[in-house]
Amino acid sequence: MSGVLVITEHKGGAWNRMSWEALAAGQQLAAESGQPLSAAIVGSELESLSGELASKKLEKGYRVEHALLKDYTADGYVSALEQLIRKLDPSFVVFPHTYQVRDFAPRLAARFGQVLLADLVGLRKAGDSFVFVRQLFQGKLNADYRHSGSGPCFLSVQAGAFRAESLESGSAAIEVFTPQLEATAIRNKPEAPFREAAQTVDLGSAPIIVSVGRGIKEQDNLPIVEELASALGAELAASRPICDNGWLPMERQVGSSGQTVSPKLYLAV
């Protein structure tokens, strides 16, 4: 058992930005463990997306392709990825911590008698093993975890915890992997994709954010903050009390019950 395998995610012909963050975590894990890095994309008709994957620093990329994987189903993804993982026998399997991953990855890990160490914010080498860090009580505490057992270690990384900008470029070969799937084994029926929110703005990709909290005291003071955000070319965000009061729309909320953000500059007012 050797290697780091990153499972990427896409939707509507476009990458989920968290795929690159998970790949950045995979590159760090591979470098510190001295193991080769590979990555996989799952679906159907993946030529254009896999070409972009090949431009990253990888040992190899995998196109897990099948007509039954065109639309996401937990049954299809679990069966297909189980076959790929058993073929590659990696030490670590890394995912972005998305709604889709939360749906299927715990069951995939259970196929190998493992658990999913979910929503990690950091990792570090400690002797001959790794320590993985995740937050508890809405970020008030950090908890350290170590993997035990003989199977692969399944991990998902929190949005913004690893920087996509740190990704190293390269040139990797892409191999098509065709899993054995039967339509009768897929019990789920795909429906319209789940939307995290009907957002007018994606705060998660904003490089500069000006966020306002209850310290603003009155709604009449909001124009001051809006003017500051405009001057900085920033997106305006808010804490939960501001949105609960209806001073700003819910899609502007950041935090544990709002959007997870990772800007280069975050100014809290």
Q: What is the pLDDT of residues 60-81, one digit of tens each?
A: 999 999 999 999 999 999 999 9
For CA atoms 164, 165, 168, 174, the dihedral sign is positive
Q: What is the pLDDT of residues 176-234, one digit of tens each?
A: 999 999 999 889 887 776 555 555 677 877 889 999 999 999 999 999 999 999 999 99
Q: Which residue has the higher pLDDT, 24 or 189?
A: 24
Q: What is the pLDDT of residues 133-154, one digit of tens each?
A: 999 887 789 999 999 888 899 9
- Cβ atoms of 23 and 167 closer than 8 Å: yes
Q: What is the pLDDT of residues 76-114, one digit of tens each?
A: 999 999 999 999 999 999 999 998 999 999 999 999 999
pLDDT at 150: 84
Average pLDDT score over the chain: 90
pLDDT at 193: 62
pLDDT at 195: 59
Q: What is the pLDDT of residues 237-262, one digit of tens each?
A: 999 999 999 999 988 999 877 888 88
pLDDT at 199: 52
> Residue 48's pLDDT band (boundaries 50, 70, 90)?
confident
> Residue 12's pLDDT band (boundaries 50, 70, 90)?
confident
Q: What is the pLDDT of residues 151-176, one digit of tens each?
A: 899 999 998 899 888 889 888 999 99
